Every structure is written in C-alpha cells, then in structure tokens.
C-alpha cells in the first residue's frame, strides 16, 4: 500500500516509523518531511496546508491512505477535501477539529455533556470580561479564542496582569476580533490521554506526560514540549477508567450526537485535581512529543489501525509493556530566537531512537534547522532505566548549540 504522511516534525517521524514497521506499507511519502524522515520515506516538497496540491499528489501517485499530523492542515479542511475525492484519510473533518481550534466550542460541548472541566465564561466585550475577573479569585486563566495564534494562555496572578492581558486580547484588534475564555485555575498533575476514535468507537493509547516549560523544574517559558514519557505511576487504573468513561467516550459520543463525528486521534490534556480528573484542553491530533514516546510501544499493525479509523471501523491496538522516555534537544535560545546551521555529530553512537524535529542536511552533514531539533527516545523495562539510557545517549550527541532538560520523568519518581 502507498501511504502519505502529512507533516514534518518529530511526531511525523514517529508516525512514519510506525507505518514503516508494517509489512503492508510498500511505499511511504512524507509532505514535506525532514532529514530524518527521509531515511524512511520519500519526502515531497508540498506544504502541509496546501490541500489542493496534496489531493493532486495523492491521486497522481496512487496513494491509498493519508495520515495527517499537524492541526493547521486539519483546520483548513484537508480531511473534507480528501473524502470528497474518495481518498482514504486519517484525521478529523474541519468541523470536528473545532474541538481543538475553538476553545469556546470545546467548553460548550463539555458543559452540555457533563464532561468535567474548569468553570468558565466567554467574553468578547472588555468591560464585561474585566468585571467578571474582578468578581472572581486569583490566579485566573485567560485563553484567547480566535484566529490569531500565539496569544495563547495566560495565567494571571495579579489583577494588573489580568487587566493588561484582557486589554491585549480584546482591545487590540490588529489580528481581528477575538474572544476570551476565562477559566477557574486548577491545580494537580497534568497528563495526556490520546485515543484512536472512529465515531463512537474508541481505543486508548498509553498515558503520557509532556514537559512544556523550557528548563528544569518547570521553569522558563512555554515550549512545544521538551520531553515526555510513559507510563505514569500516579495515574491509577481507576483514574484511567474514569477518564475513559466520563471524558473520552463521552466526548466521542457527544461529537456523534452533535452531527460532527470525530475520526482520528482525540487528545485529552487532563489534570488530576483534588476534585477529580478534569479536562484542560482537547487536541484533534497526535500530541507532540507524546507521540514519539507512545508509538514505539505499538505492537499492532499501524497501517491496519489507521485504515480502520479512516474507514470508521473499531480501532484495536496492542501495546508493549516497556517504559519509554524521550528527551528533546533544542537550539540554545529556543523558544526565543536561535541560530540555525550548527553541525550535529555522534548520532550513529546512539542506541535509542532518534526522531528528527528540526534538522537539515548541509554539504552531507546533519545540521540544526529549527527550535526543537531532535528527540532521543529510550525504551526499557523500567522508567528509571529508560531515563538513564536516554540521558546517556543524549551525551553522545555532539553539537555546540543544543540544550536539554535533565529532569524528564522526574514527577514519576516523586
Ligand atoms: P492549554 O493551551 O489550554 O493547554 O493551556 C496551556 C497550559 O496552561 C496547560 O498545559 C496548563 O499547564 C495551563 N492551564 C490551562 N488551563 C488551566 C487551568 N484551568 N488551570 C490551571 N492551569 C491551566
Ligand atoms: N503536547 C502538547 C500538544 O501536542 O499540543
């Protein structure tokens, strides 16, 4: 079978590798892919959001299944267009992607279907939003809901900060009109529960934990994720059952009920609070870097699994019971500005898996080409061993412009 994977980062590399393990994959294309993915797939220079070019490519090259990594491609309706053309594709429709792209949509759905999440209110008017914040307590969580990406989530600890944030989100209309979702501040351990979803049929992946802050001890700015691991000792079987029943299955059913059935990966960003497990956010796709530590444990045939989901059949997956732990190597300066083009040596001495995030080949040498450059993923019987292996392998990679966190997985050992 000829398969096209849309995307370019470490997540996409892990998806391509899982597909490459299947005897059913005769040819893998990646659009646009990267230097690491190029070892397993033919990279084609088409942007992930150039839907018409991707449709053309799939038709002209006899692609029988397309798997989508990034949200941007889903949000512009890649799945709808492929389906119109009768092409099999793994991912949610544009309407179903709203569970990620619109925070207000996700919140309304959760309230309507009694899915546990932080209390909230949505505002487009600055004065009303400010009055609401003044009536509530601090810290307060302010989430921008609109077309302008990047304003993101602000956890305001003072009234001055809340006011300034609201002004920026609601009064500065440079990016167009936006709304703000104001949420109750929750505390607890965060974890990621991804499920394969085909309508109301769902199948969980191993629970993982991301590390979003740039530096050790969760200090520094938010990033695209500096590392991840599976499994999480503080998430019990009861927690898992609860989250599957009251969150993931309920949302899958709700999406069917609402006339926007979900197909693909539903990512629950969850928090184990003193009041029980609650939803922080949903994503409509594989998480990054969670996918890089989850898919290596997939024992089932990835092509069958993705095809079942794409065709609306019940997804079934078996997982190895190995622990996995991944450490991201990022360019110094990331998530701020950073230099590119630093030579990377020593990857051939690494025993763990390496998934490329932002690399390129220059004059035959591997060089840095992005903020997050690669993730080193170790597998072992225990998480401790996986951590030691990953750390040892990271030291084997020589490059003078990379840094990494040294505490990935630390919360599992508390
Ligand atoms: P989001 O983009 O919704 O995932 O938010 C980014 C990060 O902000 C999350 O990973 C949490 O660490 C934090 N966060 C979001 N919502 C809340 C909340 N209601 N309470 C506490 N922390 C939150
Ligand atoms: N790991 C968080 C995300 O994929 O959005």
Asked if pLDDT for residue 147 goes beyond 90, the answer is: no
DSSP assignment of 348-412: GG--SEEEESSEEEETTEEEE-SSEEEEEEEEESSHHHHHHHHHHHHHT-B-TTEE--S-TTGGG
pLDDT at residue number 292: 98
Domain ranges across the chain: 2-93, 119-184, 188-310, 324-413
Which DSSP letter does residue 144 get?
Answer: E
Residue 346 CA to ligand 1 center (angstroms) comes to 37
pLDDT in tens, 96-141: 999 998 888 999 999 999 999 999 999 999 999 999 999 999 999 9
pLDDT at residue number 166: 94
What class has domain 2-93?
alpha beta
| Cα(239)–Cα(245) distance, integer angstroms | 10
pLDDT band for position 176 (cuts 50, 70, 90): low
Ligand 1-lining residues (CB < 6 angstroms): 118, 141, 143, 153, 155, 183-186, 190, 212, 269, 280-281
Average of per-residue pLDDT across 44-68: 98
Residue 16 in contact with residue 28, Cβ under 8 Å? yes
User: pTM for the full model?
Assistant: 0.96
Domain 119-184 has CATH 3.30.1490.20: yes
CA 11 to ligand 2: nearest atom: 4
Q: Of the residues 281, 285, 289, which should be mutated to test ligand 1's pocket, given the most ligand atoms within 8 Å of the CB?
A: 281
pLDDT band for position 28 (cuts 50, 70, 90): very high
Query: What is the CATH code for 188-310?
Result: 3.30.470.20
Comparing 53-57, 97-101, 256-260, which segment has the lowest mean pLDDT?
97-101
CA 186 to ligand 1: nearest atom: 20
Structure tokens at 64: 């029988």
CATH architecture of 324-413: Alpha-Beta Complex (3.90)
pLDDT at residue number 152: 78
pLDDT at residue number 149: 55
Q: Is 303 helix (H, G, I), strand (E, B) or coil?
A: helix
Identify which of 108, 78, 18, 102 has the alpha carbon closest to the alpha carbon of residue 298. 18
pLDDT at residue number 228: 98
């Amino acid at each position: 079978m000829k398969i096209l994977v849309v995307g370019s980062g470490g997540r996409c590399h892990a998806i391509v590798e899982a597909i490459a393990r299947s005897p059913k994959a005769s040819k893998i294309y990646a659009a646009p892919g990267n230097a690491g993915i190029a070892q397993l797939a033919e990279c084609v220079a088409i942007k992930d959001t150039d839907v018409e070019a991707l449709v053309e490519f799939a038709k002209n090259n006899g692609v029988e299944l397309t798997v989508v990594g990034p949200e941007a491609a889903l949000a512009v309706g890649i799945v709808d267009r492929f389906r119109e053309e009768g092409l099999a594709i793994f991912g949610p429709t544009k309407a179903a992607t709203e569970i990620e792209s619109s925070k207000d949509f996700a919140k309304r759905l959760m309230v309507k279907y009694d899915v546990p999440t932080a209390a909230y209110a949505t505002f487009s008017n600055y004065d009303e939003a400010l009055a609401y914040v003044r009536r509530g307590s601090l810290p307060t969580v302010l989430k921008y809901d609109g077309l302008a990406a990047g304003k993101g989530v602000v956890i305001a600890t003072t009234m001055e900060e809340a006011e300034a944030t609201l002004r920026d989100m609601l009064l500065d209309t440079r990016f167009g009109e936006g709304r703000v979702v104001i949420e109750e501040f929750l505390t607890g351990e965060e974890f990621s529960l991804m499920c394969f979803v085909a309508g109301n049929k769902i199948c969980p992946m191993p629970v993982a934990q991301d590390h979003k802050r740039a530096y050790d001890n969760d200090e520094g700015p938010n990033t695209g994720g500096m590392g991840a691991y599976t499994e999480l000792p503080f998430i019990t079987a009861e927690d898992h059952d609860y989250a599957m029943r009251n969150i993931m299955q309920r949302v899958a059913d709700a999406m069917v009920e609402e006339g926007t059935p979900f197909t693909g990966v539903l990512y629950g960003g969850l928090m184990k609070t003193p009041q029980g497990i609650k939803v922080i956010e949903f994503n409509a796709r594989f998480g990054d870097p969670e996918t890089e530590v989850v898919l290596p444990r997939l024992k089932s045939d990835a092509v069958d699994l993705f095809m079942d989901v794409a065709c609306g059949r019940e997804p079934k997956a078996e997982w190895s019971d190995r622990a996995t732990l991944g450490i991201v190597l990022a360019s110094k300066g990331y998530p701020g500005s950073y230099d590119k083009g630093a030579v990377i040596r020593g990857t051939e001495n690494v025993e763990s898996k390496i998934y490329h995030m932002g690399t390129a080949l220059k004059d035959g040498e591997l060089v840095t080409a992005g903020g997050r450059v690669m993730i080193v993923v170790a597998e072992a019987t225990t998480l401790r061993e996986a951590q030691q292996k990953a750390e040892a392998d990271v030291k084997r990679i020589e490059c003078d412009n990379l840094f990494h966190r040294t505490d990935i997985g630390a919360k599992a050992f508390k």
